[in-house]
Structure 1
Amino acid sequence: MRVPSRSPGHQPGPPAASTAPARRRPPAGPSRRSPSPGPDLTAYRAAVAELLVEVGALATAPSTAARQVLIDARLREPAIAAVLDATPQGFVGARETLLLEMARYQPNERSSAADLTALVRIYLLSRIDVMWWRDAPTYLTDAQVNASPELVDLEWLRRRDLLRFRYQEQPATLLGRGVRALRRRLRPDATPRTAGLLFRRARREMVAFLNDVAREFAASTPAGTPPLWVTSLVRSAEHQYRLRRLGYAAMVPSGHCLGWAVDVELAWYERFGVRETLGGLLLARQQAGEVNVVDEGQAWHLCLAPGARRRLRRAYEAEMGI
């Protein structure tokens, strides 16, 4: 919106004489406009939902050509194209990546993409993450994650009772993996079935966000309900590609590799009757513009919105007494 001029504009009749000394006016600068609100994410999610219905109807192998024509046409719709064009890859790169992911897709028990429709949903909705954080640096290697001053050690915080959520680390040795397997056989439902965190590090804002969600979840569920369980936090691009080689639906680029995404367990809470409660809390935060939510089946992927960063950084500092 153009800022209204403060001058009265042209007035009829001869100009009035002035006894004040003449002053040189500064040169007119560029007009100020309100910042662009960005793509309409509500329209984007609705358009993606409609696309998924059509992809599901063309999920069989003989429909490959028709499916590609559908994707080509639907991605060009303004609501979808606006988001894809705002990602680091741009519209063309995002489109080509999706088509390549679909061509390479092979279902397996490790992948959160149970079918082709799930793959398209995970890819398209996760593009909101990389659009939001397109200027954030990527953690390229494991060493960068471990050395980053922007990340804090979760174990240090846990030992001081400063975390309201739970997680488990990946076993580092063959003995550790054997002990983990034995525990799962003896108590198969005691914890979520997840490999655990390779990196027990997170951004301070993400710690504050997870603590906040964990408190809300605890207040909304019966006594004895297990706390919020985190299955994945920051990852390096190096690790992301390792996951892809193992068959996981690890998208590239990813909010995990920027440090702004997290996965939380959902399916395990079904046995406690509170899965819908947790899902509702997370969707309410998406509705409020705080996060982007991607349903990945067993776990839900969450990415923090840039607009929530300052508030959560202040919340972290208040919690930690900084």
Structure 2
Amino acid sequence: MRVPNRSPGRQPGPAVASTTPSRRLPSADRPADGSRPDLAAYRAAVAELLVEVGALADAPSTAARQVLLDQRLREPAIAAVLDATPQGLVGARETLLLEMARHRPGSRTPAPDLTTLVRTYLLSRIDVLWWRDSPTLLTDDQVRTSIDLVDLEWLRRRGLLGFRYREQPATALGRGWWAVRRRVRPAAGPATGGLLIPRARREMIALLNDLAREFVSVTRAGTPPLWVTGLVRSAEHQYRLRRLGHPATVPGGHCLGWAADVEVDWYERFGARAALAGLLLARQDAGEVNVVDEGRAWHVCLAPGARPRFRRAYEAEMGV
């Protein structure tokens, strides 16, 4: 039996043991030669900036926020990361100011609060820094036909996925049915629009399977499995989300194929939110992923240094 990906597939086999790292990955956050930006220092500087942004979140503070950003984005710990992205420091600053200008607090759109918007943008620059040479998936058709992506539905039907997701309903009737079901049975699944195209990179499947196994091992019986609410999205779809008010960035980890959104807040009802958040942050500390708290769901991007290990894990799980 072969794993279909609309390209030559590979044969599945038995699951393998967890690939959770026992030590920090080399060259992930703090390389010994010092040639790469210090991501730990970057995250700490962003956290300090967010405190100040939160204090200036009201509308009359627009000018003060711009001055704050002009000053703080030029600090060495932040500038080193932004300079290393394709946009550079100036481009990142201009993009962030535009995102803040279009932000409409209190609107009916799904836009986050201002602090979450700034955190999401700045921390997602780590994804772009890591995968700057990875090609962007520009259209939905490219996502559907890419030989680098695997069909999740085929794997799910054969019990080869440890995590859950749902496919985005194609009709208004389907969306209405899901909304009713969610109101009637809120513990059956989180509030999510679902995946438009349920495909993913092999390494991301292995990462999410591994995280799902670890999550089961640290939660009590009856806790639902890991829920994934976002995976690969084309740049075309990112722009659709932006028109709906979502802070979807281009380029970003999703349209490069290296990011996923993992539901976190929903697990509060099962007493498992803190455990899941702890697992994600521990993997970030190990240099395995970049994590961004986006509120209800957390964004997770695989580090380049972890890619070979998770490719091997995928091949072992699928019997390649």
Give your verdict on TM over 0.5. yes
Asked whether the 8 Å contact 1:137–1:258 carries over to 2, the reply is yes
Q: Distance in 1 between matches of 2:120 and 2:49?
A: 13
Q: Distance in 1 between matches of 2:77 and 2:202?
A: 33
**Are residues 209 and 274 of structure 1, via their aligned partners in 2, closer, same or farther at CA, if it must alter by over 3 Å?**
same
Partner secondary structure for residue 186 of structure 2? coil
**Are residues 312 and 110 of structure 1, via their aligned partners in 2, closer, same or farther at CA, if it must alter by over 3 Å?**
farther
**Are residues 54 and 216 of structure 1, via their aligned partners in 2, closer, same or farther at CA, if it must alter by over 3 Å?**
same
Structure 1, 103-112 or 234-243: larger mean CA deviation:
103-112
What is the aligned partner in structure 1 of residue 183 from structure 2? 185
Q: Which residue of the other structure, out of 245, 248, 269, is the alignment partner of 1:247? A: 245
Q: Distance in 2 between matches of 1:211 and 1:110?
A: 32
Amino acid at match of 2:252: S
- Point out the structure with max Rg over C-alpha: 1
Does residue 88 (structure 1) correspond to residue 86 (structure 2)? The answer is yes
Partner secondary structure for residue 308 of structure 2? helix
Q: Distance in 1 between matches of 2:251 and 2:95?
A: 10
List per-residue Cα deviations over 1:42-96 (Å, max 9, x = no partner): 1000100111111111111111111101100000000000000011111111111
Q: TM-score, normalised by structure 1?
A: 0.87
What is the aligned partner in structure 2 of residue 99 from structure 1? 97
Query: Which structure 2 residues correspond to residues 218-229 of structure 1 after superposition, within 5 A?
Result: 218-229=216-227
Q: Distance in 2 between matches of 1:90 and 1:309?
A: 25
Amino acid at match of 1:236: S
Asked whether the 8 Å contact 1:112–1:298 carries over to 2, the reply is no
What is the aligned partner in structure 1 of residue 56 from structure 2? 58
Asked whether the 8 Å contact 2:84–2:129 carries over to 1, the reply is yes
Amino acid at match of 2:235: A
Q: Distance in 1 between matches of 2:273 and 2:189?
A: 15
What is the aligned partner in structure 2 of residue 111 from structure 1? 110
Q: Distance in 2 between matches of 1:36 and 1:42?
A: 13
Q: Distance in 2 between matches of 1:239 and 1:290?
A: 27
TM-superposed CA distance for 1:182, in Å, is 2.5
Q: Which residue of the other structure, out of 51, 71, 77, is the alignment partner of 2:69? A: 71
**Are residues 188 and 224 of structure 1, via their aligned partners in 2, closer, same or farther at CA, if it must alter by over 3 Å?**
closer
Q: Distance in 1 between matches of 2:109 and 2:172?
A: 20
Q: Which residue of the other structure, out of 285, 288, 301, is the alignment partner of 2:286? A: 288
What is the aligned partner in structure 2 of residue 43 from structure 1? 41
TM-superposed CA distance for 1:199, in Å, is 1.1
Asked whether the 8 Å contact 2:226–2:262 carries over to 1, the reply is yes
Partner secondary structure for residue 224 of structure 1? coil
Q: Distance in 2 between matches of 1:35 and 1:318?
A: 33
Partner secondary structure for residue 292 of structure 2? strand
What is the aligned partner in structure 2 of residue 136 from structure 1? 134
Query: Which structure 2 residues correspond to residues 236-315 of structure 1 after superposition, within 5 A?
Result: 236-315=234-313
What is the aligned partner in structure 2 of residue 125 from structure 1? 123
For structure 2, the 5+ residue unaligned runs are 1-31
TM-superposed CA distance for 1:112, in Å, is 5.5
Q: Distance in 2 between matches of 1:272 and 1:184?
A: 16
Q: Distance in 1 between matches of 2:160 and 2:267?
A: 23
Asked whether the 8 Å contact 1:112–1:297 carries over to 2, the reply is no
Structure 1, 243-252 or 271-280: larger mean CA deviation:
243-252
Q: Distance in 2 between matches of 1:177 and 1:302?
A: 26
Q: Distance in 2 between matches of 1:268 and 1:301?
A: 15
RCO greater where, 1 or 2, for CA within 8 Å and sep 6 or more? 2
TM-superposed CA distance for 1:272, in Å, is 0.2
Q: Distance in 2 between matches of 1:92 and 1:141?
A: 28
Partner secondary structure for residue 198 of structure 1? coil
For structure 1, the 5+ residue unaligned runs are 1-33
Q: TM-score, normalised by structure 2?
A: 0.88
Does residue 173 (structure 1) correspond to residue 171 (structure 2)? The answer is yes
Q: Distance in 1 between matches of 2:188 and 2:159?
A: 21
Q: Distance in 2 between matches of 1:111 and 1:249?
A: 9
Q: Distance in 1 between matches of 2:45 and 2:81?
A: 11
Amino acid at match of 1:111: P
Partner secondary structure for residue 280 of structure 1? helix
Q: Distance in 2 between matches of 1:97 and 1:211?
A: 34
Matched-pair identity in %: 77
Q: Distance in 2 between matches of 1:110 and 1:320?
A: 41
